[in-house]
Amino acid sequence: MAAATRGADGLTGILKDAAIYALGAFALCVPVVSFRTDAGATGGLELTPRWVLVAGLCAAIFLARLAQRLVLMRRDARRALRPSRSQATEAVSGTPNAGQRVSMLALWLFIGVALTLPVVAALASGSLGEGRYWIDLGILILTYVMLGWGLNIVVGLAGLLDLGYVAFYAVGAYSYALLSTTFGLSFWICLPLAGLFAALWGMLLGFPVLRLRGDYLAIVTLAFGEIIRLVLINWVDVTGGGAGISSIPRATFFGIPFTAGEDGFAARFGLTFDSMHRVVFLYYLILALALITNVVTLRLRRLPIGRAWEALREDEIACRSLGINTTTTKLTAFALGAAFGGFAGSFFAVRQGFISPESFNFLESAIILAIVVLGGMGSQVGVAIAAVAMVGGPEMLRNLGFLKSIFGQGFDPNEYRLLLFGLAMVAMMVWRPRGLISERTPSVALGERRAISGAHVSEGHG
């Protein structure tokens, strides 16, 4: 209906439509926005009316809808002149896909930027210490890139919907924290162990649930994620409960601590001590871990196991008819994804020096999954771009201090981080349901590798 009338009903129609949206927004704002409840002097709640805010919101919705409709109208007018390009077969066969080259280029660009970021940050800000904000942000983004790439094996390649991925992140983090604080094991011993434990947990949890399909699998993995978090909170003797574990040993340069003393990293290598050495080291550590994840994934895709994962995503029944043991195939994907989550978790613990169950709540799982789906399932580059957008984007809110001059001093843009994050998730799904890069690159080709349109690629059922 909308498509047919959109061009015809003209400006008045659009204004009317926007007005209806504003009216709807008004009704939704009553009473959650229009009255703020605050604890009063007597302890009971008191109401503060905020009709100006409601009016502002409605006006914003009105203008946003108006702008959207106007843009859509112009796009439709342009489309009407040209033949439709939305046929599924159009983008599929034929000439080598330019987008594929761009995405390969993007991957190298990403790696290039990632490699040089600390240097650039230091040069641009004057010194390493000044550039710390950017390096820390880089570490945060790369952690999510790694988590995204790890989960991509499970969700993107094997098509298994995992909403509890953060559980393996937690297993990795607690493995390192507990092993290092109780047994004094070094990070480099704990790192593989953490991955191993996470993989074991992956298999343990995966085994009973992997015959479930679709949303059911998602919900069970969510339940497992929550169970692990709740156990971490309640098993106080071992995990320290809600207070978490603190004073986790810091990372060392392969055994050489980053201290100012004689044995410290700076003294050994003849540098002047700078606390930033450790941060830069952590940065390159997570970069290396992420790149290892990427290389392993890209290699696996070209191996029979990787092809079996993708085949599983496409059609599980056909897989079984071809003699593929779908249970073990799913389990390997689950365990491997979990292992990478575990590596990332132990990195998280060594970087923070403190962990608590609150770092591993459902929101984290949702963010990682959103990164994978938004990136385009199975696309490594897409995941990297999505991680930058989803993690780096909200971070930019901190820099919007100038808004205070508009909305008053009490306004803290950072409060709106998750609100906007949720909105962005919806908007991006509506805009690109298949993610940024929905094409699939074949794992093997006789001639030139050509991308396969997302229209053909299945999203899996499990």
Instruction: Report, in Å, the least distance between residue 98 CB and another protein.
Output: 17
Residue 416 makes contact with another protein by CB under 8 A: yes
Q: Give the whole-angstrom CA distance, residue 155 versus residue 49.
A: 46
> CA 183, 184, 190 angle in degrees (round to 5)?
90
3-state secondary structure of 376: coil
**Residue of 368, 327, 330, 332 lying closest to 152 (CA atoms):** 368
Write out the binding residues for another protein, residues 350-369 only, by CB under 8 A: 362-363, 366, 369
Write out the binding residues for another protein, residues 8-27 only, by CB under 8 A: 24, 27
Residue 31 makes contact with another protein by CB under 8 A: yes
Q: Give the whole-angstrom CA distance, residue 18 versus residue 440.
A: 39
Write out the binding residues for another protein, residues 328-347 only, by CB under 8 A: 332
**Cβ 421 vs Cβ 395: under 8 Å:** no
Residue 186 makes contact with another protein by CB under 8 A: no
Residue 5 makes contact with another protein by CB under 8 A: no
**Residue of 67, 108, 41 lying closest to 384 (CA atoms):** 108
Token pair 């040993």 is at which residue? 249
Q: Give the whole-angstrom CA distance, residue 421 versus residue 414.
A: 11
Phi-psi region of 184 (alpha: psi -120 to 50; beta: other; left: phi over 0): left
Q: For the chain, how far is it from start to end, CA to CA, in angstroms? A: 34
Q: 64 or 120, CB closer to another protein?
A: 64
Residue 35 makes contact with another protein by CB under 8 A: yes
Write out the binding residues for another protein, residues 87-126 only, by CB under 8 A: 89, 92-93
* DSSP structure string for 20-62: HHHHHHHHHHTTTTTEEEEE-TTSSEEEEE-HHHHHHHHHHHH
> Hey, what amino acid is at 38?
D
Instruction: Report, in Å, the least distance between residue 319 CB and another protein.
Output: 8
Instruction: Report, in Å, the least distance between residue 40 CB and another protein.
Output: 9
Of positions 13, 36, 193, 292, contacts another protein by CB under 8 A: 36
Q: 128 or 324, CB closer to another protein?
A: 324
Q: How many CB atoms lie within 10 A of CB 207?
A: 15
Write out the binding residues for another protein, residues 41-60 only, by CB under 8 A: 44-47
Interface segment toward another protein; rule CB under 8 A; list 109-117, 271-279, 398-406, 425-433: 425-433
Interface segment toward another protein; rule CB under 8 A; list 223-231, 284-292, 338-346, 394-402: 223-231
Residue 397 makes contact with another protein by CB under 8 A: no
Write out the binding residues for another protein, residues 287-306 only, by CB under 8 A: 296, 299-300, 303-305
Q: 28 or 59, CB closer to another protein?
A: 28
Residue 308 makes contact with another protein by CB under 8 A: yes
Residue 127 makes contact with another protein by CB under 8 A: no
Instruction: Report, in Å, the least distance between residue 205 CB and another protein.
Output: 9
Q: 132 or 434, CB closer to another protein?
A: 434
Residue 220 makes contact with another protein by CB under 8 A: yes
Residue 154 makes contact with another protein by CB under 8 A: no
Of positions 76, 130, 215, 358, contacts another protein by CB under 8 A: 215
**Residue of 133, 135, 108 lying closest to 119 (CA atoms):** 135
> Hey, what amino acid is at 363?
L
Q: 274 or 314, CB closer to another protein?
A: 314
Q: Give the whole-angstrom CA distance, residue 5 versus residue 288.
A: 54
Of positions 126, 184, 408, 447, contacts another protein by CB under 8 A: 447
**Residue of 247, 227, 250, 196 lying closest to 360 (CA atoms):** 227
Residue 319 makes contact with another protein by CB under 8 A: yes
Of positions 128, 135, 370, 386, contacts another protein by CB under 8 A: 370
* DSSP structure string for 349-385: HHHHS-B-GGGGSHHHHHHHHHHHHHH-TT-HHHHHH
Q: 45 or 115, CB closer to another protein?
A: 45
Residue 212 makes contact with another protein by CB under 8 A: yes
Q: Give the whole-angstrom CA distance, residue 356 versus residue 354.
A: 7
> Total residues at the site for another protein (CB under 8 A)?
100
Residue 434 makes contact with another protein by CB under 8 A: yes
Those residues with Cβ within 8 angstroms of residue 359's Cβ, 6 or more apart along the chain or in another chain: 170, 173, 348, 352
Instruction: Report, in Å, the least distance between residue 338 CB and another protein.
Output: 16
Helix or strand run (H / E) with residue 252: strand 252-253
